[in-house]
Structure 1
Amino acid sequence: MAFLSPSLLAADFYNLERQIKVLEENNVKYLHLDVMDGNFVPNISYGAGIIKSLRENTNLVFDVHLMIEKPENYIDDFAKAGADIITIHQEATKHPLRVLQQIKEHGIKAGISLNPGTSLSVLDYLWDELDLILIMTVNPGFGGQSFIPSSIDKIKETRKLINQNKDDILLEIDGGVKTTNLESLLDLGVDIFVSGSDIFNKDLNLMKEKIEYYLERI
């Protein structure tokens, strides 16, 4: 069974309470929370304070994706804010293994994210600490980008490596996932599909229709 993790980055913050309610009422389990610092990626999004406020009002699984430099300086804050999963970028820290261990010390799941140009070889010494691998299927930092076709082979290879090394690791993909290409991604062994601009919509009925489309297929 796979899951949908809608990305809050694409939400209408003016109507956020209503949109979160649509997710909950339509059996969405995860919420993908993209944290951007304006350094590791060009954009700035939100921080632990917003996540804490959300945590007080929903029981969705908080899938926190830190697109920030030196994430080791902020793990405690996001854990206390209510993260269920914290994923860091391999490229954002000199000591990814240590940061994964730091996350797990809080009793939550630890993930590693790899940019499109990052080799899977970086996983070689991380397996014991991993609960999730996030393959970026766009270059991180902006919503609404198109899926990079070469990501297909990388997703397939990651699935093989998970099966060989630690088969309870979740495989997540993020970037350009839409109703128009979902069918081509269903047989790749993905456990969590992140989709933002394709899910969140000011038209709540359209949001519901999109959610139903995803959940009926994955």
Structure 2
Amino acid sequence: MAVRGELDLEAAEQLEYALRAALGAAAGGVDLELGGVAFCDCSALNVLLGLREQSLRQGKTVALRTTGPAVDRLLALTGTWTLFEAPCPDGDGDGHGGGEGSGAAHRSGGPAETPDGSALRDLRIEVVQLRRAMQTRPVIDLARGILMASFGLGAEEAWRVLVLASQNTNTKLHHLARDLVCAVQGDPPADAVQEQVAAAVAKVRSEVVAPAMDDGIDRVDD
């Protein structure tokens, strides 16, 4: 299965759905080609790790056949390369072959393991950011579920509401999500936050309804 584009939090749900469907249809497992992935963050890594756990329960495999720099960097930073190594047909060595874009440098002592001071500082900053994102992802998912249940929204619509309300209140998305989760536990958010969430819900609903009305008008005209 070949995956291309940018794998971020917004794309994670679609990625998870596609990968789980592929694993379910596979007899022995899924081989992934990620050489065309231009950006990859911890939300995509969480999807891959979850897919691997599911494959183990089913007696199947998940292996990375090709990767690009974005995926190489993330797997090297998190130390998860060995979890996705593809076995060679003869059982000797890893399945990447050490070619370009295979991530071999990260595992075999190549230049990527000896960065200069500036690169090392950037790596440490990125690790901190990844850890923070992995810590905030659960509360964001909870907040999205609350919006879906409260307003009858779909997953993508609830995400859009979170983003809009975050922008309009100048609040970090995970802080807004935390406020919404706390509200369920009896600590209501500030009036400004409630107003912006309501406004975002109305806007997202209008974006959904408008195309549907246009389609109905087109059908009547036809």
When normalised by structure 1's length, the TM-score is: 0.29
More helix by share: 2
Answer 1 or 2: higher relative contact order, Cα 8 Å, separation at least 6. Answer: 1
Larger Rg: 2
Bigger proportion of residues as strand = 1
Superposition TM-score, scaled by structure 2 size: 0.29
